[in-house]
Structure 1
Amino acid sequence: MQADRLHLDDLHVGQRFVSATHTIDKTQIRTFAAQFDPQLFHTDEEAAKSTLFKGLAASGWHTAAITMRLNVEGGLPLAGGIIGAGGEINWPAPTRPGDTLHVESEVIEVTPSRSKPDRGIAVIVSRTINQRGEIVQTLTAKLVVPRRATG
């Protein structure tokens, strides 16, 4: 499985990847929120109607977790796994029950390490998009990616 994974040396600016999809439902939203983000607009469909969201919405952290799973399962095939070294996340639109999400990722920077020749940093923008083409999350991540062994 690792043989088809990409090393830093395989990446280039502008390279793109697309994940599979995940459809989220009310039960997933409420279950995740009950454990990790127990706010009414994530846990109570009726109470959510009178909030900023005007209805049940997934936690941004739930959207982030789905994004991670979609990338790990093939959306971002990096050797050594997806290892974060920092980043920025934005949620321009809520994720709703019934949304089918996929992730489109793009390499925007590739920098070999000067002090650690066995790795480098790839900056990747991952946009999580629903079935209506709306971006529900943008993650710009600095990822540690191994280089190919030489010799």
Structure 2
Amino acid sequence: MKIQEIREIIKLIDQSSLDEFLYESDGTKIKLKKNDKGIISTGGQSFESSSVVEEPKMVEVKAEPVSEIKEEVVVTEAKPVVEESSLHKITSPMVGTFYQSSSPDAGAYVQVGSKINADSIVCIVEAMKLFNEIEAEVEGEIVEILVKDGQLVEYGQPLFLVKGN
């Protein structure tokens, strides 16, 4: 495993909410821990890794008297209530970056209301510079897209809600 690949893994783990990560392949073992001292070991080599936690800083806030109270009403559009137990969740099979299309100029693979079948590609998850096409593995209609384009996703994180046929 190359040092650049290790750095990319460290970057992905640092951006995620994972506290611990273990990877083993062909005699290479990498163990990362956040918020604690951890050891990264590759083959027979070891590297120290630790997260830096800054001390909280005190901020002085001055309150000023309110001379006039205004009431504001915000009207938002209500989403239709859908029984979530009847919906299938398409989840991320890995930690990576979620993309709705194959390139910035291309249209999204699916949108709310799109009809899909089991082998439909619904998105791409990029992990370590590899772009992995994610298939729906279910038939139905996309009801909701739960993540934004370019967002970091975790293993098992729901990406789409699908209403079955």
TM-score category (smaller protein): under 0.3
Q: TM-score, normalised by structure 1?
A: 0.27
Which of the two has greater helix per residue? 1
Higher relative contact order (CA 8 A, sep 6+): 1
Q: TM-score, normalised by structure 2?
A: 0.26
